[in-house]
């Protein structure tokens, strides 16, 4: 045993890649330890991070497997809640966005070679779990190719539920922890739909295990097609992106309550999207990255027969809008994939990408609104927060306000400022069952644009504390 300890210390000091050893953390069963990440290329030496990654099977018969990356809380993990983060798209990676660019403890450097420690990581407040969902996103895969033609919200929710259930079987020490969900963009569908599935099945203890769900928080979430699209157009007009004439034309021609837009509406919305060609729709005051060729390809609505108005834009934004280029360089390295136990059976064809556009192209958008789920889960007593970066042109604050107001909840605290470091961090309004928060100057990806403010949000949400209302 002493020789093993000596070897661990020797390896810690002299290995160019391994900065911590398993000996630094509590020992877990071999089924868990086999997923422990101990030699992540480019990882900084401090602080030590207890992390695991690998695959969870969500459908044995069809061979569907979702890839996860899990970071234990940096302090007192046995008492901290478990938080699952989901990105949207549909087709975008929670590893490439949430974990490696936004709220995870390790961010890919601009050179795409190494990693930086993120002092605003959310695993300072919770045990933090990321999953690439659905299959076909990132490293997640299926052995049944026809699965890749069946994507809809129900399909994704069922696999996500099975992921949570089977992950907790693998890590049973977290089964009794308070469990929360969070995510952004099209996760505005994924998160409440998964929460509803957990809530419903928790009532059937004979057939399903109990999952200790306490609530969820979503950011710049697609929620209700009519309000979200109305907000997109009004934001573009009020922020000088489109002209008065284009705005009036949209108002005259388009009825966003229709499931299928008319060709005339599609044509004029094409004009609206085109005005974002030279700026970043996801953060209108940030520089645009011109290395991401075709980043707005999903915005083109040129086929009036393909329900193209339902297709969501790729999620690219931030103070460094080229970050997706760096994360793709990093996660396509063989040594990185080996260290995180990804693509171990060679089931991934082609390169790992931040977003899989083929999923976006084939996704069956059948759910126009998740507001009924909000009404149901608010009555159930779940804690729900809704936050919005106010510089996002894709899912603007104004559309989210329409969505929240449509719930017709009783007002507890009217619209007012909250503060961070003596400055206005944003605004908030508190209703019975839901808190709506804006983050000043943030775009579509709030934890990327305003990491300190985002950490304040998740801390306040998890601890049940009010955001600071004094300078």
Question: Which residues are the active-site residues?
Answer: 185, 392, 444
Contacts for 261-266: CB closer than 8 Å, 24+ residues apart: 261/301, 261/304, 261/309, 262/304, 263/304, 265/309, 266/301, 266/302, 266/304, 266/308, 266/309
Tell me whether strands 127-131 and 411-420 are parallel, antiparallel or unpaired: unpaired
Round to whole Å and give the CA distance between 133 and 65: 9
Assign residue 456 a region (left: φ > 0; alpha: ψ between -120 and 50; beta: otherwise): alpha
Assign residue 52 a region (left: φ > 0; alpha: ψ between -120 and 50; beta: otherwise): beta
Q: Is 400 exposed, middle or buried (0-12, 13-18, 19+ CB in 10 A)?
A: buried
Round to whole Å and give the CA distance between 193 and 197: 6
Secondary element (H or E) of residue 429: strand 423-431
Q: What's the sign of the alpha-carbon dihedral 87, 90, 92, 93?
A: positive
Report residue 206 as tokens: 């004979």
Contacts of 408 (CB under 8 A, 6+ apart): none
Closest CA to 187 of 142, 156, 226, 149: 156
Q: Are 433 and 383 in contact (CB under 8 A)?
A: no
Report residue 105 as tokens: 């403890």
Instruction: Supply angle C-alpha 394, 398, 399, rounded to 5.
Output: 65
Report residue 126 as tokens: 């919770």
Tell me whether strands 179-184 and 141-142 are parallel, antiparallel or unpaired: unpaired
């Amino acid at each position: 045993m002493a020789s093993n300890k000596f070897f661990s210390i020797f390896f810690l000091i002299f290995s160019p890649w391994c900065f911590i050893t398993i000996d630094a953390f509590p020992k877990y069963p071999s089924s868990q330890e086999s997923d422990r990440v101990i030699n992540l290329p480019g990882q900084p030496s401090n602080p030590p991070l207890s992390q695991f990654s690998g695959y969870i099977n969500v459908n044995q018969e069809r061979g569907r497997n979702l890839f996860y990356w899990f970071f234990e809380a940096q302090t007192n993990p046995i008492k901290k809640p478990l938080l699952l983060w989901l990105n949207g798209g549909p087709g975008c990676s929670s590893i490439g966005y949430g974990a490696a660019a936004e709220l995870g403890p390790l961010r890919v450097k601009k050179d795409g070679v190494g990693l930086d420690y993120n002092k605003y990581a959310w695993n300072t407040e919770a045990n933090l779990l990321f999953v690439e969902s659905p299959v076909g996103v990132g490293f997640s895969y299926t052995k049944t190719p026809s699965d890749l033609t069946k994507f809809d919200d129900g399909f994704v929710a069922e696999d996500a539920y099975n992921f949570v259930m089977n992950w907790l079987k693998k890590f049973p020490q977290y089964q009794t922890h308070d469990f929360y969900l969070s995510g952004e963009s099209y996760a505005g569908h994924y998160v409440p739909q998964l929460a509803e599935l957990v809530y419903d099945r928790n009532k059937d203890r004979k057939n399903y295990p109990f999952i200790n769900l306490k609530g969820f928080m979503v950011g710049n979430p697609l929620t209700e097609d009519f309000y979200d699209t109305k907000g997109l157009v009004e934001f573009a007009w009020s922020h000088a992106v489109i002209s008065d004439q284009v705005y009036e034309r949209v108002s005259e021609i388009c009825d966003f309550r229709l499931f299928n837009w008319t060709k005339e509406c599609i044509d004029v919305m094409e004009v609206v999207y085109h005005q974002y060609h030279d700026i970043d729709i996801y953060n209108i005051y940030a520089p645009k990255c011109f290395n991401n060729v075709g980043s707005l390809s999903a915005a083109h609505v040129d086929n009036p027969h393909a329900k193209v108005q339902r297709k969501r834009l790729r999620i690219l934004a931030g103070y460094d809008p080229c970050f997706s280029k760096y994360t793709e360089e990093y996660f396509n390295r063989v040594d990185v994939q080996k260290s995180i136990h990804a693509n171990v059976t060679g089931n991934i064809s082609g390169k790992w990408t931040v977003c899989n556009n083929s999923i976006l192209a084939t996704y069956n958008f059948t759910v126009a609104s998740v507001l009924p789920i909000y009404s149901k889960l608010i009555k159930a007593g779940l804690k729900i927060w809704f936050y919005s970066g106010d510089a996002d042109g894709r899912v603007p604050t104004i559309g989210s306000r329409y969505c929240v107001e449509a719930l017709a909840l009783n007002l507890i605290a009217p619209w007012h400022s909250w503060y961070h470091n003596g400055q206005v961090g944003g605004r908030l309004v508190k209703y019975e069952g839901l808190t709506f928060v804006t983050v000043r100057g943030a775009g579509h990806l709030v934890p990327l644009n305003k990491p300190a403010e985002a950490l304040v949000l998740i801390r306040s949400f998890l601890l049940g504390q009010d955001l600071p209302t004094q300078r």
